[in-house]
Amino acid sequence: MWFLSSLVTVLVGALSSVREIVKEDDIYRRERAVNLQVLPYILSKVWVGVVLAFYQAAVLLLTRILFTHPPLPDAGSYFALYGTLFISTLCGYLIGLMISASAPNQNAAMLLIIVVLVPQFMFAGALMPLDLIPGGEVISTFMPTRWTFEAFVNLSGMGKQLIHDPCWARPKAERKALSEAQKADCPCFGANIFTQCAEFPGILSPDFYDAKTQRV
């Protein structure tokens, strides 16, 4: 759900602004010939995006709380979550403005948004490891979805127990060579992931399985 949330925020922001500039192309050219300056015109679009991002982030947060009950450690995390949603939505809005300024017409703008947003899926770091994609680490630094997804994961604490597991800290070759006795000391490795790793999205997580299933 965190990955989908990161995609939705960027998508909502981009769709809100993808027509903002291109639909006013004729008006802009006429006003530009008189006295309209580029910077004030762009800022007039950006401040609207800021207001919309505040509103859209609030709606997204409320929807998330009502329907998915995000497992956040404390009340302060909700404010951090709202801030992350706001920044991500605003990034999407600015991406939409960039597309709108580059597109020759409104139909082309809607097609370009697909081209720009597809990499947001690929390089967010959730679908596949970035080190398996040539240049993935570098490209992902320019993707808002990557930073949004990482922020969501850090805020929720998901996977912290897995990260600190001593077995997973070993190189892949060493992990394969571990004996059953050595694996027993690692709460989130091997069979222990089903009995001891409570914070990982697995059998012990209440977000995925109820108490009855866990007892089975």
Q: How far apart are CA 216 and CA 211, in angstroms?
A: 9
Residues 108 and 94 grouped into a single domain = yes
pLDDT of residue 216: 47
Q: What is the DSSP letter of 53?
A: H
CB 96 within 8 A of CB 14: yes
Structural domain tally of the chain?
2
Instruction: Using the 3D structure, point to which of 110, 129, 156 is the last residue of a domain.
Output: 156
Question: With 60 as the cut, is the pLDDT of residue 208 above it?
Answer: no
Residues 83 and 131 grouped into a single domain = yes
Residues 96 and 12 grouped into a single domain = yes
Rounded to 5°, the CA angle 129-130-134 comes to 125
CB 86 within 8 A of CB 13: no
pLDDT digits (tens, 9 = 90+) for 3-27: 888 888 998 899 888 888 888 888 8
Range of the domain at 121: 2-156
pLDDT of residue 181: 81
Question: With 80 as the cut, is the pLDDT of residue 160 above it?
Answer: no
Residues 95 and 42 grouped into a single domain = yes
Class of residue 44 by CB neighbours under 10 A (exposed 0-12, middle 13-18, buried 19+): exposed
Residues 45 and 82 grouped into a single domain = yes
CB 18 within 8 A of CB 45: no
Segment 175-190 mean pLDDT: 81
Residues 32 and 80 grouped into a single domain = yes
Residues 64 and 141 grouped into a single domain = yes
pTM score: 0.77
Residues 174 and 125 grouped into a single domain = no
Mean pLDDT (the chain, rounded): 81
pLDDT digits (tens, 9 = 90+) for 51-89: 999 999 999 888 888 887 777 767 778 888 899 999 999
Residues 109 and 187 grouped into a single domain = no
Distances (CA, A) of 154 to 44, 103, 160, 205, 208: 34, 36, 8, 17, 19
Rg (CA), the chain: 22
Residues 169 and 77 grouped into a single domain = no
Amino acid making up residue 38: V
Rounded to 5°, the CA angle 63-64-70 comes to 155
Residues 119 and 211 grouped into a single domain = no
Structure tokens at 64: 């998330």
Question: With 90 as the cut, is the pLDDT of residue 215 above it?
Answer: no
Residues 129 and 164 grouped into a single domain = no
